[in-house]
Structure 1
């Protein structure tokens, strides 16, 4: 006997395929959502850990900034103390400068040159005096320039010829002059002496 299937087998097969396809689509959708959720949670965890690291670094940077400010304050204090120390050392070293000034100036003046006034302003000294001739004034300038380590940069500011009455009816020709020079600090003289030694 021949069996004939009168049921709509193609529609049933199509329906089954549609159901399998829909189940596969639904499964793929669920798998995609699950994968997206996993990826999102992984990235969110990475972002959170990076933000924690960033906040830790920010707190450490702020601590370092505070330490840098403290160090800068200490450096300023150290520089201030060094400047004060140098000032005190300069004052202590320069306290003998007037002695060197008077001692050396008397040795450097040739015969026939007289100082009438001397004024010190800081490290600059202005000397006024009289001499028997222009040559004597030139000799004083040379002696100050080369004869003492305590003096430097002599400058002749003014020279005037005139006469002086030594005795009644005895007039002598003299030259009055004004010159200035700079005193050299004791530390610089010591440094120059050390440089000259081999």
Structure 2
């Protein structure tokens, strides 16, 4: 016996497919929302962690800046203390400057030169005097510039012909005015140390050359 289905099966299948399609769309939407929420949560957690790290770095930077400021303040205080200490040492050393000055003037003044006066202003000394000739003045300048451990940088400011009268004796002379710097005690010591080091270096160089020559066959 042949059975004939007269129901609209095509429309039923079409509705079934539409329902399945809608279900798939809904499921896909739900999965998409879940993925977005998961990714968003993960990104939010990573951002929160990075913000915590940034906050920690900012705190560390602030502490380092504070330490740097403290170090700078300490350096300024140390420099100020060194300056005060240096000033005190210079004052103590300056007490003996007149002794050094008179001693060096006696040592470095050549024969034929007569000093009639001097004036000191700080580390600068102005000398006035007479000399038999300009050569004597030049010799005095050389002595003050190269031979004195306490006097340096002489500067001849004036030289002129003069006449000296002693009783009935009239002599021609040269009147001069020069300025010279007097070193502080620490500057003199530093200069002596530098000279000693240079002398040792120059003293070792010839010995090395002799050894080198002696080693040749």
Query: Does the alignment reach a TM-score above 0.5?
Result: yes
Corresponding residue number in structure 2 for 1:119: 119
1:160 aligns with 2:166: no
Q: In the TM superposition, what is the alpha-carbon distance from 1:46 to its structure 2 partner?
A: 1.3
Q: 1:68 to 1:146 in 2, by over 3 A?
A: closer
Offset of residue 87 of structure 1: 2.2
- For residues 42 and 147 of structure 1, do their structure 2 counterparts lie closer, same or farther at Cα, with a shift above 3 Å needed? closer
Correspondence for 1:64: 64
1:14 Cα shift?
0.8
Q: Which ranges of structure 1 fall in alignment gaps of 5 or more residues?
A: none
Q: CA deviation at 1:23?
A: 0.7
User: Within 1, Cα distance between the matches of 2:28 and 2:120?
Assistant: 101
**Equivalences for residues 1-198 of structure 1 within 5 A:** 1-167=1-167, 169-197=168-196, 198=200
1:65 is displaced (CA, Å) by 1.7
Aligned pairs, number = 197
RMSD: 1.8
SS in structure 2 of the partner of residue 128 of structure 1: strand
CA contact under 8 A between 2:118 and 2:128: conserved in structure 1?
yes
Give the whole-Å Cα distance in 1 for the aligned partners of 2:155 and 2:64: 56
For residues 137 and 56 of structure 1, the distance between their equivalents in structure 2, rounded to whole angstroms, comes to 75
Following TM superposition, the consecutive aligned residue runs of length 4 or more in structure 1 with deviations greater than 3 angstroms are none
Matches of 1:146 and 1:70 in 2, distance apart?
A: 47
TM-score (norm 1): 0.90
- Per the TM alignment, residue 182 of structure 1 is displaced from its structure 2 partner at its CA by 1.5
For residues 10 and 145 of structure 2, the distance between their equivalents in structure 1, rounded to whole angstroms, comes to 127
**CA displacement 1:63-110 (0-9 Å, x = unmatched):** 222222222111111111122222222333343222111011012223
